[in-house]
Structure formats: C-alpha cells, structure tokens
Amino acid sequence: MEMLELKDIASLLCISQKHLIKIIQETSGNHPCHFYVNKILTCTKDLLINSTLTISTIAQTLTYDPSNFTKFFKKYEGITPSEFRQLKKAKSSP
C-alpha cells in the first residue's frame, strides 16, 4: 500500500504540482486533498474491518501521524476508529 504525495504524482505526469491541482479542481470541483482524505478513510475502514492491526499501526501504514489519527478519523466519520471497528464487528456477529 503506497500513498503518493501530490508532488510525486505531478512528477510522474511530467507537470507541476500547481498545474495538477488546477486540473483536478477544474474537472472534479474538489481539491486533491478531498480524494486523499477519502482514500485514507477507505483504506482505514478496510483495515479496521479485515485486520487485527492496532489503530497506531494502521495510521503508520497509511503514513499518518498516529497521535492525530483518531481525531482525523472522527472528524470525517463521526466516531473513533475503535468505535467503528466495534460497530462493524457487532454487525457481523450472529
């Protein structure tokens, strides 16, 4: 699982980071960070449901600072990663 930064993506496309941001905003209506956040959340949810990794390990795997990861997740999902994991496990239990 590799998370590329905008500058890396722009470099792969042989364009400037500024130009990449402009193109993404014009075509999608969203800043590239919107997609980055969504990708982190999607990967986090998958790892919370399908692995036994700790929250801290998941944060590090996704190149996110573990000390702020729970706040980040709760900001977008409304619950902590631990609460999300417990809810999903409770729903999947018979």
Higher pLDDT, 78 or 92: 78
As a whole number of angstroms, the distance between CA 87 and CA 92 comes to 9
Confidence (pLDDT) at 93:
66
Q: Using CA atoms, how far apart are residues 64 and 3, in angstroms rounded to an integer? A: 10
What confidence tens digit (pLDDT) does each residue in 53-77 have?
999 999 998 888 888 999 999 999 9
11-44 residue pLDDT tens: 999 999 999 999 999 999 999 889 889 988 999 9
| Cα dihedral: 50, 56, 62, 66 (round 10) | 150
Give the SS3 label for residue 20: helix
Which residues touch 15 (CB under 8 Å, ≥6 apart)? 23
SS3 44: helix
- pLDDT score of 94: 64
